């Protein structure tokens, strides 16, 4: 009897997926204790135009995971090409994420200043996704940020930052 081939390792999967260019966002919310929480996320996608839905995927071990409960609002700030340091800041572990260049959106959620565009979303559903949770959000507000309109987008490809103009 032939032996079943083993599946890919997580390292192999990570290498393969690094060849898929992604935009970079910072996702923000407020914890139950009232603290601002922000995290760099590239697992973000538009889902539906009717109703307006997006999804984000977050690691189940995040310190600020409790901020992303059904009914809560989260912000998505699409980063501009000059915001690599912002992305790196919010990707670090063990820092006070309440610090940052935030401004308040229409729903009261914190958003990142200088970003290309922002969305404010109400969490309507959660789905298990292995070591991550998939959050489905209904878009309550979205805006192109005028101060960043001349900028290109910050992207991630082959484990490096790049720019897309």
Cα 22–24–29 angle (5° rounding)?
A: 135
74 close to 66: Cβ distance less than 8 angstroms: no
Burial class (CB in 10 A: 0-12, 13-18, 19+), 26: buried
> Cβ atoms within 10 A of the Cβ of 158, count?
10
pLDDT in tens, 127-153: 999 999 999 999 999 999 876 666 788
Q: What is the pTM of this model?
A: 0.91
Question: What percent of the chain has a predicted confidence (pLDDT) above 90?
Answer: 72
Nearest CA to 93 out of 39, 42, 135 is that of 39
Copy the structure tokens of residue 16.
């393969």
Copy the structure tokens of residue 7.
């599946």
pLDDT at 3 over 70: no
37 close to 27: Cβ distance less than 8 angstroms: no
pLDDT in tens, 64-75: 999 999 999 999
Domains, the chain:
23-156 (2.30.110.10)
Look at residue 163 in the predicted model and tell me its pLDDT. Answer: 80
The number of angstroms, rounded, from the C-alpha of 69 to the middle of its chain's C-alpha atoms is: 15
pLDDT in tens, 8-55: 999 999 899 888 899 999 999 999 899 999 999 999 999 999 999 999
């Amino acid at each position: 009897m032939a032996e079943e081939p083993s599946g890919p390792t997580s390292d192999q999967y990570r290498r393969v997926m690094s060849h898929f260019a992604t935009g970079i966002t910072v996702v923000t919310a407020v914890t139950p204790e009232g603290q601002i929480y922000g995290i760099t996320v590239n697992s973000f996608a538009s889902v539906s135009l009717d109703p307006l839905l997006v999804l984000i995927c977050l690691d189940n071990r995040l310190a600020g995971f409790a901020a992303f409960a059904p009914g809560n609002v989260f912000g998505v700030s699409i980063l501009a090409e000059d915001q690599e340091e912002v992305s790196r800041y919010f990707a670090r572990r063990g820092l006070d994420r309440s610090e940052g260049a935030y401004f308040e959106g229409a729903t009261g959620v914190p958003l990142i200043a200088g970003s290309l565009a922002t969305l404010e979303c109400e969490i309507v559903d959660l789905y298990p996704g292995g070591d991550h949770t998939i959050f489905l959000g209904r878009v309550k507000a979205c805006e192109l940020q005028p101060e960043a309109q001349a900028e290109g987008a910050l992207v991630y490809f082959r484990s490096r930052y790049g720019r897309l103009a």
